[in-house]
Amino acid sequence: MIGAGVAGLAAARVLNRRYANVTVLERDTLPYGPVPRRGVPQGEHPHILLVGGLRELSALFPGFETELLTLGGTALETGADICAYRLGRRWPVAPTGFAMISVTRPQLEAVLRARVTALPGVTVHDQVAVAGLAGRVGQVTGVVLDSGETLDAALVVDCSGRGSRSDRWLGSLGLEPPGQIEVKAGVTYSTRLYRRRPGDLGPWRAALVLPAGPRESMSAVALPVEGDRWIVGLGGWHVAEPPATPTAFQEYARQLPDPLVAALISRAEPLSDVTVARFPSSRRRLFEKAAQSPAGYVALGDAVCSFNPIYGQGMTCAARQAKALGDTLDRHQRVPDAAMVRDFYEAAARINETPWRSAVGGDFTFPGTTGPRPRGIALRNWYARQVTYASQVDASVYRIATGVQHLVDPPSVLLRPGFAARVLRQARIGRRAPAVPR
Ligand SMILES: Cc1cc2nc3c(=O)[nH]c(=O)nc-3n(C[C@H](O)[C@H](O)[C@H](O)COP(=O)(O)OP(=O)(O)OC[C@H]3O[C@@H](n4cnc5c(N)ncnc54)[C@H](O)[C@@H]3O)c2cc1C
């Protein structure tokens, strides 16, 4: 395994069930507890683990949910606990039956890391950077470390994240790098931690502002996290100057279309400086279309597809790809030959396709977004809007749409004839429904 992020840790668990020895190589110094680290700078920003990802990780690590709660995580019923502003209005309360658990990314990673480190047959080495692949055109046989040492492996799994150097690594074996799609949406995050006290958000446990493009483009999230803290992230699409000082942060929050987050941070005690992240583009690498994939090497997680983080899909897709890796290995009698590798990339592409389309579809509602538009995007965005309008007035539509949004259910459930008819009927009512008072 190259990399001990969420993808690397989930995949290490999967491989541990199938191979006697799994070695995880991580460039960073790994901390003992839930501390942000250099190799994962996004860890300082809010990380929502979708319900699909929570379920996937709980299947890999039994007791995961309970552990997060014990460590100070907060369960959030998606329809009842989060004050959501979407499509230009505040959303009505309607329980969906889907609950997330809110913690910081370092906390989530610390739990996974402790679980993986304790597994017999898994060794985690930190401060070890991989510099290349060993092998030849058709077969990767191991990795070369930056010390020059070569480590042999039956299978190398590249979970080195968005900055993966696999193009160069594959190139040095004489292979063409995979094609790539990039959609530029100029997303930024500015994040600050605050002390959390009961009643800070009135009846709510979290707040979310998702702008309705093209009129609005500013987003916000306030999530309860361990240590009785709020993590508050402000951002948006095509932001030239993200707020980087406490004053600019307050000012930005005041311009949000819903006042709840600004009210929260005007009262709460700050516990950190403002941290800024820029995410210029979503990027997808088309390994499934590569002319040749060597046996013995797969890439997984952000190394394959790095989504606009505002939709919160990256960790869930990484966990689902890790599961797909195990399933594919089983179908191929655990022999990681070229056929297995190709099968895996096809499975990973199926996993990434829906979240990619919905994220990129959302991005193209903001003028200034550039890149290849998925086919049928206008119709898709229109129907997604109808589902959202209908969700406002029809709890069963909301429940089903939430299952799809949280990557629990496939998008095909939204297209069943009975459901689509109901959506179109209810959307007409939802569009005209009075907004929930603030
Ligand atoms: C601002 C921001 C907010 C986000 N919010 C969310 C969210 O709300 N929900 C969500 O699901 N996702 C979110 N994401 C995406 C999420 O962080 C990633 O999808 C997820 O971390 C994927 O993990 P990964 O393991 O593939 O990569 P990473 O987490 O980036 O891990 C890669 C690891 O590989 C190591 N590494 C790199 N190169 C080498 C090398 N040569 N040798 C050894 N080790 C190496 C790195 O040090 C690192 O530990 C967000 C991303 C950003 C930028």
Tell me the residue range of the domain where 154 lies. Answer: 6-79+96-181+283-353
Would you say the CB of residue 343 lies under 6 angstroms from ligand 1? no
Mean pLDDT of 262-278: 97
Domain end among 216, 251, 280: 280
* Proportion of the chain above pLDDT 90, given as a percent: 91
Mean pLDDT of 162-181: 93
Does residue 437 surpass a pLDDT of 80?
no
Two structure tokens written together for 75: 């369960």
pLDDT at residue number 438: 65
Rounded to whole angstroms, how far apart are CA atoms 91 and 49? 21
Domain end among 250, 280, 310: 280
Atom of ligand 1 lying closest to residue 131 CA: 41
Is 177 in the same domain as 188?
Answer: no
Would you say the CB of residue 44 lies under 6 angstroms from ligand 1? no
pLDDT at residue number 89: 85
Would you say the CB of residue 40 lies under 6 angstroms from ligand 1? yes
Is 72 in the same domain as 215?
Answer: no
Two structure tokens written together for 276: 């800024």
Split into its structural domains, the chain has a count of 2
Would you say the CB of residue 191 lies under 6 angstroms from ligand 1? no
Q: Computed from CA positions of residues 204, 208, 214, 218, in that sequence, does the dihedral angle turn out positive or negative? A: positive
Q: Which of 281, 256, 241, 280 is nearest to 372 (CA)?
A: 281
Is 125 in the same domain as 63?
Answer: yes
pLDDT at residue number 432: 84
- Per-residue pLDDT reduced to its tens digit, 330-368: 999 999 999 999 999 999 999 999 999 999 999 999 999
Banded model confidence at residue 294, pLDDT cuts 50, 70, 90: very high
**Nearest alpha carbon, ligand 1 atom 16:** 314
**Nearest alpha carbon, ligand 1 atom 41:** 130
Mean pLDDT of 204-220: 93
- Centroid of ligand 1 to alpha carbon of 305 (angstroms): 11
- Centroid of ligand 1 to alpha carbon of 392 (angstroms): 34
Decide if 230 is inside a domain.
yes
Rounded to whole angstroms, how far apart are CA atoms 24 and 11? 10
Would you say the CB of residue 392 lies under 6 angstroms from ligand 1? no
Name the residue with tokens 């429904």: 433
Two structure tokens written together for 147: 């010390």
Is 177 in the same domain as 197?
Answer: no
Would you say the CB of residue 142 lies under 6 angstroms from ligand 1? no
Would you say the CB of residue 318 lies under 6 angstroms from ligand 1? yes
- Centroid of ligand 1 to alpha carbon of 5 (angstroms): 6
Burial pattern 338-365, b for ≥16 Cβ within 10 A else e, equals eebbbbbbebbbebbebbbbbbbbbbbb
- pTM (2 d.p.): 0.97
Mean pLDDT of 66-87: 96
Banded model confidence at residue 212, pLDDT cuts 50, 70, 90: confident
Is 33 in the same domain as 156?
Answer: yes
Decide if 264 is inside a domain.
yes
Decide if 13 is inside a domain.
yes
Is 169 in the same domain as 289?
Answer: yes
Would you say the CB of residue 45 lies under 6 angstroms from ligand 1? yes
Domain end among 216, 247, 280: 280
Is 103 in the same domain as 229?
Answer: no
What does each C-alpha distance from 189 to 17, 41, 103, 207, 221 come to in angstroms? Answer: 37, 12, 18, 16, 10
- Per-residue pLDDT reduced to its tens digit, 103-141: 999 999 999 999 999 999 999 999 999 999 999 988 999
pLDDT at residue number 265: 97
**Nearest alpha carbon, ligand 1 atom 53:** 42
